[in-house]
Structure formats: C-alpha cells, structure tokens
Structure 1
C-alpha cells in the first residue's frame, strides 16, 4: 500500500464520520457559502501577475514537520505583501497538520486573492464544505479519482461558482479528464505514490495540454530561474509551499523569491 493509498483510505473513513455529524443544510446556510468567489484563472492571467500560488503547509508525509511555529495570520499577511497570485492552504489534519480553521482564518485576512483548498477530495460533501469555509478553488487529484468522479465533482464545484484545479502526474491522469479545454491543469512534479520529485515531469506533459487551459507547475520549485524555464513551456502558475514554509519567515522568503522573477 502506497502513502497515497493510505491517505485515501483514511480520508474516506474520516469523511463518512463527518457526514454523519454535519448536515449539508448547515454548510449551505454558512455565511461564507453566499460570498462571490475570486477567480484563480483571472488572477494568474492578469497583466503583471507573479503567477505564484503560495502554500501554507505545516508538515508532509515525506518531510515530516516543515514549520510548526509560523502562524496562518503571519504567513497570509506575508504572502499578500509579496503580491502572490493566490494562496493554497492544506486542510488535511492527519497527514499534513492543516485544518479547515486555517482556511477560514486566512479568508478573514485575505479578501483580495483566491484561496485554494488543498485536500484529498473523495466525496462531493467536501466540495460543499470547501464553499462553506470560504475557498474559491478546489483540488481534484486525477490519480485518486475515476473519470466519472472528476467530471461530477468538477460540475458540482462549477455549480457552486468555484473553480477547479485538476492535478495530474502522468498521461494516464490527463486521459481521465473529460475535455481539457478551458480548464486549470496542475502538473504535479511529485509522484504521490513514491513522493519523489522530478521537475521534468511538467515539461514532459506541457504540450499535451491545450493553450486554452491554464497550466500550473506544482512541487519542487526552489529557484526563481526554474520559473523562467517553465514559462517558456506555457506555464502561468507555480504552486510553491515547502520552499517558503521551511524558512523562519515564509512571507519574507516568498517576497525575496518574487523579487528575483520580476
């Protein structure tokens, strides 16, 4: 059983318990459910966008504790000062040390940039939940879902006015997505089964994605020069977490990084 298999098996049990305790009606009645979402696509494509989707991540299965002292408020304010294009927040508790409360707190501070709920979505309930806690974008990981689930969950998010970041790692993952046109596609350089990182993965799959879609490269980006190289392959978004979070002041690290790509 891979780490990903363990995470998905655990997540399905976890969601079943939450669904038994929290009625969907209660989520739909949440004040944040009615807010108008901020578009990730627009933020990445606007003139002068840094393209950086900066992540708040305390820990990971492959690295253990990355940063358990920086607060969500400090990091969110630091990222906003650095002029990120968007914010990504891990809400998985058991494997990544995140919480839904992290995203809700960030949403209070961050009213101007889109927020991605980064989690392993295995049930439509989590999409309702994402909208209720103030997320603008959800993540759908192709290697965890069937073609039908990708389509149904994507449609549900769209019905709620949210955007979807479809994450792929291989051609097989890409083939699962129904119609790649006008989607936000993230190529993960980290193999979720082994957690090994290979930056060539983004370049390898880039020309399989139509120009109508927004291309995002995820994981393993640690040098501003990598951004320059990826832009030549049509990438407009760059999801970076660990590179900032491993520093004492993630916001400052993000600012320094962005200063080097302007």
Structure 2
C-alpha cells in the first residue's frame, strides 16, 4: 500500500483538485447532447466536508486529508503515512485509489468525447422489471448473479475465468440480472468484461459493479452497455445520491443504492424516488458477514415504508445455502446479489440450483 502515497502523479492530481475546488461531484450533462446541468451543491475540502459527512454518518473519507508537509528525496516528493492519510479500511482504500483513477480517466476521455459512444450504446434493458418478473415466476428472490474473478478479502475466486462463458451459464441457470465487477486493482474486473458480455448477446440486464464517486462514471458505464449502476451510501452524501439518481433516470439506468446499517437505510428512505435498495451484510469496519443484518434493517417502520413504496430490497453478501435464501426472503428481501458461492462452481448453472435448493431456470 505504501507505493500509493509515493507516486508523484497522485500529488499532481490532488493539487489540481485542490486548486479547482472540486469536492464531491462534478458538473455533468443533463443529457447526451453535451448540455450541462447546474453544478450540484458542493462543499470545500477539509472541515466543511468532514462536518457534512459526519452529520450524515458517513465514515468513508472521499480523499486523504492534506497530511503533513511534503518530504523530498532527490527529485521525488511524497507524504509520510500517518493516521490522517492512511485508509481506515479496505473500502476507504478503494475509494482513494478510485479518486485518482477516475481523475486520470477523465483527462484521457472527457465527457464530451463520450457522446459518440453514448449515442451508439445498445438500448437500456429494464433491470428492475427483470427482477420483478423473476420473483413472480419463481416465488423466490430474483438472482443478480455476479461475474467476479477476485475480491480483496478472498483473493482469486476462479483461475479459469472467462466472463462471457460465466455470464452465459448464469443466464442458463435462471439469473434475472447480472452484476459485472469493473474495478481492476482490487477485483481484477474491467469495463471490457462488461462490454464483452453485452456484445455476446446475453439478454440479462447488466449492473455495473463499480465504486462510483463521480457522475462521469455513470455516463461511462452506460457507454459500455450497463443497464444499472451501484451507488454506495457509505461513500456518497445525500446530495450526491439525489444528483446521481437523476442522471440515472435521464439515461434510463436503474440505480441500486447500497446500505450497511440503520442510519444509511434511513438516509436513503428519506430520498424520493428510490426503487432499489441493496442491504450489504458485510460490516465495513471488520469485514465480517452477518445475514441477520438484512432482517434487522427490514423490521418495524422501515419495513412497512419499503412495502408501501414497493421498493425492491436486494440481499448482498453471506448467501451460500437455500437456508440463507429462505432467511432473507422471510425478512422481506425480493432479490439477492450473489457472486462467490456460484462463481467458484465448475458449473455455475448447477451452482445456482444448489443455492436455491431447486432449478430456477426457465
């Protein structure tokens, strides 16, 4: 991890961001013609941003704090690691790296240059409709099967990884939708995998499983053929979630808003128009998994509100057996996002049948 803090490129990007006043989101078009929306409400780096995030219970810092003065060794400059600029958990480390990565990608391919790709992108498929149809057909939670080669906690899950073949096997096994990891550094995924699956004729709608911190990423995902994107409440303040869901609506994309605890769930339920909420059963601090988290977040008034609004809740993490599926279904989950327990199977289609206790293919 140490080399992450010593790269001059990181420092130059950080300096540009600081001087430009860039904070949580960037100016983004209202449509694919290049016209721009008003800039979303921004906060300055530092104390104001920290106060905003703290007020909403956000524990993931978007970027490293400024840190101590620069140190010089020959022609290079770097910051010493300390408590302030060392990631506190793996999600924060991923987000800090993603901030640098996205800044570099935007420089190479500004939004204006995405126009042609957006115009030529394949039509958006109905992600939420596919989940509802599957749930009605099987009377079981609809499956979002994840095309996932590796994870930070488990390492490589499948050595003989062919994303298109795995996606086709998932579809054959009864998956309603697919989730495709696009983060390269931590999950060994790519946008090329997403594009290849879409171009291979797989009919299941595709969720771009990316760590989105900038509106540009939503446009890029659509250009690559995504039908839905993931927005993480632990990373994004309310203003960003509202802003980004509006962009998704304009592009026809579904937005899966992921929560981990009661406070995040309450924040998301306070936002109008939310149709899809994912409950991640993994603790951000310890990375331990407890599927009873789904039940806890769906009890009482929260569960009633979700039913009244007809929001689809997706259970995420820790689902390996038919008993696990039954447990979260009884809690109120109508879809599940599963990767590890099926991608590791030599025959993913049979893995799906084993997960649900029966064949759910059409």
TM-score, normalised via structure 1 length = 0.93
Match of 1:22 in 2: 109
Q: How many residues align?
A: 262
What is the correspondence of 1:136-175 to structure 2 with a 5 Å cutoff?
Answer: 136-175=227-266
- Counterpart check, 1:102 vs 2:193: yes
Q: Mind listing any 5+ residue stretches in structure 2 that lack a counterpart? A: 1-87
Match of 2:337 in 1: 239
Query: Is the 1:82–1:258 contact (alpha carbons within 8 Å) kept by the matching residues of 2?
Result: no
Query: Is the 2:255–2:276 contact (alpha carbons within 8 Å) kept by the matching residues of 1?
Result: yes
- Counterpart check, 1:48 vs 2:137: yes
CA distance in 1, matches of 2:258, 2:201: 24
CA distance in 2, matches of 1:182, 1:6: 28
Query: Is the 2:278–2:315 contact (alpha carbons within 8 Å) kept by the matching residues of 1?
Result: yes
CA distance in 2, matches of 1:131, 1:55: 18
CA distance in 1, matches of 2:157, 2:202: 26
Q: Which moves more between the two structures, 234-243 or 49-58?
A: 49-58
- Counterpart check, 1:197 vs 2:289: yes
Match of 1:226 in 2: 324
Give the match's secondary structure for 1:190.
Answer: coil
Superposed CA RMSD: 1.8
Deviation at 1:249, TM superposition (A): 3.0
Structure 1 residues 147 and 141: CA distance shift in structure 2, 3 A? same
Deviation at 1:193, TM superposition (A): 3.3
**What are the Cα deviations for residues 227-262 of structure 1, in whole angstroms up to 9, with x where unaligned?**
222222221101000001222333331244345275
Query: Is the 2:167–2:202 contact (alpha carbons within 8 Å) kept by the matching residues of 1?
Result: no
Higher relative contact order structure (alpha carbons within 8 Å, sequence separation ≥ 6)? 1
Deviation at 1:145, TM superposition (A): 0.8
Deviation at 1:176, TM superposition (A): 2.6
CA distance in 1, matches of 2:206, 2:285: 26
Match of 2:28 in 1: none
Deviation at 1:110, TM superposition (A): 4.2
Query: Is the 1:70–1:248 contact (alpha carbons within 8 Å) kept by the matching residues of 2?
Result: no
Match of 2:3 in 1: none
- Counterpart check, 1:216 vs 2:305: no
CA distance in 2, matches of 1:3, 1:254: 29
Match of 1:13 in 2: 100
- Counterpart check, 1:188 vs 2:260: no
CA distance in 2, matches of 1:252, 1:203: 28
